[in-house]
Amino acid sequence: MSGNSKQIITIDGPAGAGKSTVAKQLAHKLNVSYLDTGAMYRALTFKAIQRNIDLEDEEAIVAMAQQTNIDLESHGLRAKVLLDGKDVSEDIRSVEVTNKTFYIAQKPRVRAIMVDWQRKLGAQKSIVVEGRDVGTVVFPQANKKFYLDANVDERSRRRMEELMEKGNEVDKDQLTAELKERDNKDLTRRVGPLKKAEDAVYIDTTDLSVEEVI
């Protein structure tokens, strides 16, 4: 990207739509930073689990968040998540963290802290940012907005492939049920629900390769 003006490109969509893969590769092609907002919520969830904090206790989560430092580093196509200086990139992808992140993500005061962090990162440099509400809430004035989607069977297949590659045993029916439940939670939560921004370009990735989406 040329010029001195900072560019913000947002990619929203449900789990398994291809956001992370596409956002990383697009950022790499454009030679800008990649920001995974979901990883920030996962990192905070991981820390809360490690500290045995009640995930329903908003006061305790807010207090912990105020004493937490989360950094996201891009290394080519690899993205590193640093939690208080420690690399937790793999830890935050566990099934337990995946299934519990919702509790953190639905808390208004926690989201306010996270959105503030994300906007500060966006003010520093050009970024491709992905999440659930980045085009609608975090960066409503983004230069370009996209919404990626795919049917639930394809999203479930991708997630299963990803988990099996890491050596996890997966029950397809259970995974699909969990994905549908996650969709419902993302779409119906009171703060920052998953939805397409009015000015976002909609892309159904079901039958498209990563290269075709990009």
* Lowest pLDDT segment from 44-48, 117-121, 140-144, 205-209: 117-121
pLDDT one-digit tens code per residue, 123-151: 989 999 999 999 999 999 999 999 999 99
Whether the predicted pLDDT of 76 surpasses 70: no
Quick one: what percent of the chain has pLDDT higher than 90? 68
pLDDT for residue 2 is more than 60 = no
Written as six digits, the tokens of 33 are 């930073």
Mean pLDDT of all residues in the chain? 91
Which of the four pLDDT bands, split at 50, 70 and 90, describes residue 91? Answer: very high
User: In the predicted model, what is the mean pLDDT of residues 189-194?
Assistant: 86
User: Which ranges constitute the DSSP H helices of 67-168?
Assistant: 95-105, 108-124, 152-165
Q: State both tokens at 209.
A: 């390769």
pLDDT at 165: 85
| Distance from C-alpha of 72 to C-alpha of 76, rounded to nearest angstrom | 13
HEC secondary structure over 33-52: EEEEHHHHHHHHHHHHHHCC
Is there a contact between 57 and 48 (Cβ–Cβ < 8 Å)?
no
pLDDT of amino acid 56: 94
Of 132, 146, 137, 89, the residue nearest 116 (C-alpha): 137
Nearest to 50 by CA among 82, 91, 80, 79: 91
Determine the pLDDT at residue 3.
Answer: 46
Letter string b/e over residues 129-157, b meaning 16 or more CB atoms within 10 A of that residue's CB = bbbbbbbbbbbeebeebbbbbbeeebbbb
| pTM for this model (two decimals) | 0.85
Distance CA 21, CA 26 (A): 9
DSSP 79-101: EEEEETTEE-TTGGGSHHHHHHH
Percentage above 70 pLDDT, the chain: 97
- Given a cut of 90, whether residue 22 has pLDDT beyond it is yes
Other C-beta atoms lying within 10 Å of the C-beta of residue 120: 9
Q: What phi and psi, each to the nearest 5 degrees, are found at residue 63?
A: -60, -40
**DSSP for residue 3:** S
| pLDDT tens, residue by residue, 163-188 | 888 887 888 899 899 899 989 988 98
The answer to whether 4 and 122 are in contact (CB under 8 A) is no
pLDDT at 77 over 80: no
Residue 97: the pLDDT is: 94
Which pLDDT score, from 0 to 100, does residue 148 have?
97
The pLDDT assigned to 1 comes to 44
From 13-27, 67-81, 151-165, 195-209, the region with the lowest mean pLDDT: 67-81
pLDDT at 154: 94
